[in-house]
Structure formats: C-alpha cells, structure tokens
C-alpha cells in the first residue's frame, strides 16, 4: 500500500513537535512503518542548511536567499527521505513542509506567492501532503511557551510580533483555501486533548488503512 505524508504545521510554540512524537507512538501500535522527519534538517545536507537558516549569528540573510535555501533543503529531503519512505508504504510524519514557506516567506516576509508556489513545485516534483494538521494557537501564547522553555531562540523565533502575526494570518488563509487538505487543530488545548483530536482526524482520514492494520493484528497468532 502506498504510504501517506502527514504534515504538522503552525507558528512557533504551537506544540507540533511534541504531537509528532505522540502520534508516532500511537501509529506504531498498529505495527506499521512510521518515519518522523522535519524541514529544514531532515537530511545530512539539510542539517547544514538548518544551521545557516536558524542560528542567530552575526550574518544576515536576504529574504530571497532564505527562500532559496529552504527550497534546496526541501528538494534534497523529498528525494532522499520522503519519496523512498512513501514508496515503501510508510506513514511519513513531517515537521513542516510547503505550507510553512508560504506562511513564513510569503505572508511573513512578503515575497511573491506565485514565485513560492513555483519553487515548491520544483523542489517537491509536485508531491503534496495527504493531510496537513495546522496547530492554531495565538502567536503570543506560542512565543511565551518557547521563551518559558529555557531554550535559546533561533533567528526566526526572534522576529517581531508583527512578523509572527502575519505568518499566523497566512496559515489561516491557507486553511480556508484548502479545507480538504488542511485541518485546523486547536493548539491551545491540553497536550492530551490535542492528541485525541489528532487520532480522531487520522482515524477518519485513514479509516481503511487503520482497519487493515487492526485485521492483521487480529489474525496474528
């Protein structure tokens, strides 16, 4: 069976990374193959690009250069990690994908959306997510979570509140424009409540796959 690409999206501190781990544990209970990965940084090359993009060093990155670096990371990642995993029938849980670039570089930076769409298509060879979960949380709440965690903020996290609000507006617009692909999850709920909603969404979307896994478990000696 062909694999599925499930993407986790949202503003900083929305909780998506923790939810990916919980979702992986849940999916593994069905004895299926699950690949957890991220953009940027899902490949060896991507780790170098992630460092360039996110470390808050003395260098400055032009907005268009930033966009191209994300595209380069995505191209390498899709060909080296995502496509092979999908061909093997795995469920791929990806921390950020194409919608991040539209929200951050398009809405946040103000770069041309048509250009971003073209670059996304080139970088992914047209591969879209089967489902994108958007963790909707107020940007102030998300940033407070990041700062309260004690971690050093990266270059993007240090952006102005106005920038992060534009990013949030971008996600809201994408969700309204692609209701079949992008599903909103209330990121302000407790971690347990959010995970329950994720499981309900995935069960509904992957019902045939879930039933097949359950049948295989029932038939196991």
Question: Is 220 domain-assigned?
Answer: no
Annotated binding-site ranges: 10-17
Question: Is 137 domain-assigned?
Answer: yes
> Which residues are within 8 A (CB) of 121 and not within 5 positions of it... i.e. 6 or more apart?
none
pLDDT value for 219: 44
pLDDT value for 213: 56
Question: Is 61 domain-assigned?
Answer: yes
Tens digits of residue pLDDT in 105-143: 999 999 999 999 999 999 999 999 999 999 999 999 999
User: Does 192 have pLDDT greater than 50?
Assistant: yes
Question: Is 171 domain-assigned?
Answer: yes
User: Does 56 have pLDDT greater than 90?
Assistant: no
Number of folded domains that form the chain: 1
Question: Is 70 domain-assigned?
Answer: yes
Question: Is 196 domain-assigned?
Answer: yes
Annotated binding-site ranges for ATP: 10-17
Specify the CATH number for the domain of residue 83. 3.40.50.300
- To the question of pTM greater than 0.85 for the whole model, the response is yes
User: What range does the domain containing 25 cover?
Assistant: 4-215
- Based on its alpha-carbon atoms, the radius of gyration of the chain, rounded to whole angstroms, reads 17
Question: Is 62 domain-assigned?
Answer: yes
Question: Is 107 domain-assigned?
Answer: yes
Tens digits of residue pLDDT in 138-165: 999 999 988 876 677 889 999 999 999 9
Is the previous residue joined to 40 through a cis bond, with omega within 30 degrees of 0? Answer: yes
Separation in Å, CA 139 to CA 62, 123, 185: 24, 29, 15
């Amino acid at each position: 069976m062909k694999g599925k690409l499930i993407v986790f999206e949202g503003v900083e501190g929305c909780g998506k990374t923790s939810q990916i781990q919980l979702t992986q544990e849940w999916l593994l209970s069905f004895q299926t193959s699950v690949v957890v990965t991220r953009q940027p940084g899902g490949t060896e090359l991507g780790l170098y690009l992630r460092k360039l993009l996110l470390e808050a060093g003395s260098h400055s990155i032009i907005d268009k250069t930033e966009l191209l670096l994300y595209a380069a990371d995505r191209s390498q990642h899709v060909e080296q990690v995502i496509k092979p995993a999908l061909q093997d029938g795995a469920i791929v849980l990806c921390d950020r994908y194409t919608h991040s670039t539209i929200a951050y570089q398009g809405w946040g930076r103000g770069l041309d959306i048509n250009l971003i769409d073209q670059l996304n298509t080139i970088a992914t060879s047209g591969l879209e997510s089967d489902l994108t979960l958007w963790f909707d949380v107020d940007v102030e709440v998300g940033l407070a979570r990041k700062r309260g965690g004690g971690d050093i903020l990266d270059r993007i996290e240090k952006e102005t509140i106005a920038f992060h609000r534009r990013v949030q507006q971008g996600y809201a617009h994408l969700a309204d424009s692609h209701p079949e692909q992008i599903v909103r999850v209330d990121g302000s709920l407790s971690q347990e409540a959010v995970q329950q909603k994720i499981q309900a969404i995935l069960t509904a979307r992957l019902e045939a796959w879930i039933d097949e896994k359950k049948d295989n478990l029932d038939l196991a000696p």
